[in-house]
Amino acid sequence: MLKRAQLVTFCMVVESESLTAAAERLFCVPSNVTKKLKDLEKGKWVKVEGWADAAAAKAEIIASFERAAKK
């Protein structure tokens, strides 16, 4: 099952364009970011936890991509 923290980590890497920068923004070391990304590989079809509903999840994902596109 995909956890919200894993998705946030993934989005942070996309927005930051580097593992090191994402780790700094997440207040952790790069190896922790790498581990969370590797954990995503175990299941291709997952259920997202941590949002009220599918609309809230979609809104956060879209907002993340919009922030990345502005860079």
Question: Which pLDDT score is estimated for 30?
Answer: 93
Per-residue tokens: 12: 């942070």
**Global pTM value:** 0.57
For residue range 13-32, what is the model confidence (pLDDT) as tens digits?
Answer: 988 888 899 999 999 999 99
Question: Which pLDDT score is estimated for 27?
Answer: 94
Question: Which pLDDT score is estimated for 1?
Answer: 67
Q: What ranges in 1-71 are assigned the alpha helix state H?
A: 4-16, 19-26, 30-40, 54-69
For residue range 31-69, what is the model confidence (pLDDT) as tens digits?
Answer: 999 888 888 776 555 566 666 777 887 788 888 888 878
